[in-house]
Amino acid sequence: MNKVERESFLKSFILFFISISILISAIYYKDYKKSVQKLEDTIFSEMKICSYDLKCSKYKIDFVLTEDKEHYKFYKDKEALASYFPIPNTTLNSIELSYPQNKFQLDIREVKENILINFTVAILVVFILSILFSLYTLYPLRNALRLTEEFVKDILHDFNTPLSTLRLNAAMLEKEFGETKKITRIKKSVQTILNLQSNLKAYLDKSVLQKEEINLEQFLQERVELMQINYNHIRFENRVKNVFLFTNKDALSRIIDNLLSNAAKYNKVNGEVELFMKSKTQLSISDTGKGIKEPSKVFDRFYKEQERGVGIGLHIVKKLSRELGIDITLQSEINRGTIFTLDLHSIAI
C-alpha cells in the first residue's frame, strides 16, 4: 500500500471499528446491568421461598426486632444483602435472611467474566470484519489509482520520442546557425519538459526506501554544476562541508533540483543562490529572488504565483521530503529572496 491507500484504509477501519465497538460496548454494558439486576431478583426470590420453611443453607437466617424494618423489601448495604419477613402470630420480631456482600461480589465477578469473554469475542469478530470491510472499500480506490498511474506512465514514456526529436533538431540547428536566442529558448523549453517528466516520475516512483550513503558536499556540488549550465547568469555557491546522509539518492536529487531550479528561475539578474548548513543537520538554500507572496500555499498542488510552470514542483518536493523523513520550512520576503531549510536529522549519519 502507498501512503494514500494506507490513509484511506486506516480511516475506513477506524471509523467502522470504533462505531461498531461503541455500539457493542453499550449493548454489553446494558446486558451487564440486566444480569446484575437479575442476580439480585433471583436472590430476593429465593429469600421469599426460604422464608416459608427456612430450609436454605445459602442464606444466613436470624430473628431480629421488627422496629422500622419493612417486610418483603430488599435491602443492600456494605455488609450484606438482606430481606425481612413476618413471623406468624407476632409483630415484635421478624425473620432476617441475608446474603454476605463478599459472596455477592463473587457472583458479580463471575457475571463480569462471562460478559467480558463474550465481549472480547465480539470485538475480535468486529476487528476482523473491520479489516475486511476496509479492504473491500479500498479496492475501487486502489484500482482507480493504478489505472491513473499506468495512464501517466504511458504518457511519460510517449514523451521520449518527440523530446528526443526536439533535442536532436535543436542541436542540428545550433550546429548550422550557431547559438541564437530562438534556439536557446527551444532548448530551455525542452529542458523544462524534461524536468517536468522527471518530477512526475519521481512522484510515481515506489522505490524511495532504497537507501545509500551520500556525501552531501559532493552530491550538492554535482547538482549545482548541472544547474549552472542552464542558469549561467546566476552565481551558485555551495558552502556545505563534511555532511553524510543515508537516504534515497534519486528522491533527494528531485528535491534539491526543484529547489535550485526555482531559486534560479525566479531570481534577479546576476542573482545568487547559496547552499549552507544552518546547523549540523539543517541544510538551507537561499536566493536573492522575487520572494513568495503566500508561503503557506507554495506546497499546495497546482499553486503558482508566476505564469511559468504548472505548480507541482514544490508539491512534489513536499511529498518526497515526507517520504524521506525530511522536515521542510521556508522564509520569504518580497523582493529580498527566499530561504528553504531542510531538517535532515532523521537521515544524517
pLDDT digits over 132-146, tens only?
988 888 888 777 777
pLDDT digits over 329-349, tens only?
Answer: 999 999 899 999 999 999 998
User: Which residues are within 8 A (CB) of 48 and not within 5 positions of it... i.e. 6 or more apart?
Assistant: 72, 83, 85
Ranges of H-type helices in the chain: 3-53, 101-177, 181-204, 216-230, 249-265, 313-324
Say if CB 266 and CB 290 are below 8 A apart: yes
pLDDT digits over 198-235, tens only?
Answer: 767 766 665 546 789 999 999 999 999 888 877 888 99
Residue 311: band (very low, low, confident or very high) from pLDDT cuts 50, 70, 90: low
Q: Which residue has the higher pLDDT, 98 or 143?
A: 98
Using DSSP's 3-state secondary structure scheme, residue 346 falls into coil
Average pLDDT over residues 99-110: 93
For the chain, give the mean pLDDT. Answer: 87
Contacts 24+ apart (CB under 8 A), 87-94: 87/63, 91/66, 92/65, 92/66, 93/63, 93/64, 93/65, 93/66, 94/63, 94/64, 94/65, 94/66, 94/69
Please state, in angstroms and rounded to a whole number, the distance separating the CA atoms of residues 332 and 159. Answer: 35
Q: At what angle do helices 249-265 and 181-204 cross, to 10 degrees?
A: 140
Q: What is the predicted pLDDT for the residue at 206?
A: 56
Residue 147 has pLDDT above 90, yes or no: no
Pinpoint the residues of the chain covered by CATH 3.30.565.10. Answer: 210-343
Q: Which residue has the higher pLDDT, 338 or 296?
A: 338
Residue 179: band (very low, low, confident or very high) from pLDDT cuts 50, 70, 90: confident
Average pLDDT over residues 4-29: 89
Residue 256: band (very low, low, confident or very high) from pLDDT cuts 50, 70, 90: very high
Please state, in angstroms and rounded to a whole number, the distance separating the CA atoms of residues 11 and 2. Answer: 14
Pull the grid cell for residue 256: 534539491
Architecture of domain 210-343: 2-Layer Sandwich (3.30)
Residue 79 has pLDDT above 60, yes or no: yes
Residue 92: band (very low, low, confident or very high) from pLDDT cuts 50, 70, 90: confident
Residue where the block lists cell 459472596: 103
Q: What is the predicted pLDDT for the residue at 310?
A: 58
Pull the grid cell for residue 201: 516520475
Distances in whole angstroms, Cα of residue 114 to Cα of each of 22, 35, 339: 19, 11, 63
Window from 219-228, 275-284, 308-317 with minimum mean pLDDT: 308-317
- Tell whether pTM > 0.75: no
**8-state DSSP, 348:** B
User: What share of the chain has pLDDT > 70, as a percent?
Assistant: 94
User: What share of the chain has pLDDT > 90, as a percent?
Assistant: 46
